[in-house]
């Protein structure tokens, strides 16, 4: 290929198995180059991500193909549809390292920005590993850096067992732990939704991520989306004697025999903060993972760098920083 190669951009209205496999190949090549040590998604996970419904959003996808028919880049644009976030779009863009700096990324970005204008989206957000070519690409095209995320790993075989017992044995008068897999039990659904709304005060830097209002139907819908992808969602909650849910923590166990799981939300409702509930919940989740998923060896989480309280909780439990990502935002001009 020349330095200014020709690329065809193919919108993927209905993603085939072959197209999903091509997408997976590009993503794996990109991640191996930019994120060594981070396990790439499996072919099944990519296929599910491209074909299964999402919550309060829809997705536009493009595949960039070179003159020789080689698939060189992919872009997925998530368009949020719920009130409070319907001005937002989120972009995932990958170019195979062997085909970079020849215009494929620029073509894919131009298609995404044009779609944002058509869909009346004023904010486009994208995540890039710190120090990566993706970060330089964002800065080149006038994205603003709005948030830095610390990614942390907890190695299950390096846990401080004494600290874990100390946290687990601590008394929390007036509170009890309860847990479930998948959909929240009906008798806890309203309380869980109320606790979910506590996430709205989470530090997000200058990121314009809108707001989400949770109710019982929405928490059930989220669980269905995750189950339809083939993943499992484990939840532990601290419930107060008055029936209110004081806090919760969630772990996503990916489809297949994954040794690394992802921390989803951990939140403590403002009225119940200061009692050590966040640390208690996360320590209890470690115990649950050991009992129910003994093949898990690592838990990955991320926190905004200014979320000093949750970073302190994670580090006390034994999480250690291992990489950073940046959130970038483009203010999309109207047509």
Q: What is the pLDDT of residue 202?
A: 67
Q: What is the pLDDT of residue 255?
A: 86
DSSP classification of residue 30: H
**Which residues of the chain carry a pLDDT beneath 50?**
1-2
Q: What is the pLDDT of residue 249?
A: 97
Q: What is the pLDDT of residue 257?
A: 67
The pTM score is 0.91
DSSP classification of residue 17: H
Superfamily of domain 7-121: Gcn5-related N-acetyltransferase (GNAT) (3.40.630.30)
pLDDT in tens, 156-199: 988 878 878 888 788 899 999 999 999 999 999 999 999 998 87
SS3 content of the chain, % helix, strand, coil (to 5): 35, 30, 30
Q: What is the pLDDT of residue 166?
A: 84
Q: Is 21 left (phi over 0), alpha (psi -120 to 50) or beta?
A: alpha
Q: What is the pLDDT of residue 335?
A: 61
List of residues 6+ apart from 271 with CB closer than 8 A: 244, 246
Q: Return the CATH number of 152-324, one of 3.30.70.1020, 3.40.630.30, 3.30.497.10, 3.40.50.1950.
A: 3.40.630.30
Q: What is the pLDDT of residue 1?
A: 35
Q: What is the pLDDT of residue 203?
A: 64
Q: Give whole-number Cα distances, 237 to 3, 31, 248, 292, in Å.
A: 55, 34, 4, 17
Q: Write out the residue limits of the CATH 3.40.630.30 domain(s) in the chain.
A: 7-121, 152-324
Q: What is the pLDDT of residue 252?
A: 97
């Amino acid at each position: 290929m020349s330095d200014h190669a020709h690329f065809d951009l193919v919108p993927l209205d209905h993603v085939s198995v072959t197209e999903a496999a091509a997408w997976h190949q590009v993503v794996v090549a990109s991640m191996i180059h930019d994120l060594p040590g981070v396990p790439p998604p499996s072919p099944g996970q990519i296929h599910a991500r491209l074909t299964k419904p999402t919550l309060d959003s829809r997705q536009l996808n493009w595949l960039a193909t070179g003159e020789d028919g080689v698939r060189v880049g992919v872009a997925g644009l998530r368009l949020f549809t719920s009130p409070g976030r319907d001005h937002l779009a989120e972009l995932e863009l990958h170019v195979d390292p062997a085909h970079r700096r020849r215009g494929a990324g620029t073509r894919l970005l131009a298609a995404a920005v044009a779609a944002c204008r058509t869909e009346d989206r004023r904010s486009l957000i994208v995540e890039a590993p710190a120090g990566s070519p993706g970060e330089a690409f964002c800065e080149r095209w006038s994205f603003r850096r709005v948030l830095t995320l610390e990614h942390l790993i907890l190695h299950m075989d390096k846990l401080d067992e004494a600290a874990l017992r100390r946290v687990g044995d601590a008394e929390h008068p007036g509170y009890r732990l309860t847990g479930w897999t998948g959909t929240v039990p009906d008798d806890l659904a309203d309380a869980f939704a109320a606790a979910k709304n506590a996430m709205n005060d989470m530090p997000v830097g200058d990121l314009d991520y809108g707001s989400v209002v949770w109710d019982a139907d929405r928490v059930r819908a989220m669980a269905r989306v995750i189950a339809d992808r083939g993943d499992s969602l484990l939840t532990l909650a601290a419930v107060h004697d008055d029936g209110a849910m004081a806090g919760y923590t969630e772990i996503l166990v990916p489809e297949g025999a994954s040794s690394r799981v992802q921390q989803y939300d951990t939140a403590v409702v403002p009225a119940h903060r200061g009692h050590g509930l966040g640390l208690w919940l996360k320590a209890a989740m470690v115990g649950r993972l050991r009992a129910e998923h003994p093949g898990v060896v690592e838990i990955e989480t991320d926190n905004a760098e200014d979320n000093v309280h949750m970073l302190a909780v994670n580090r006390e439990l034994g999480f250690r920083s291992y990489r950073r990502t940046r959130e970038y935002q483009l203010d999309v001009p109207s047509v």
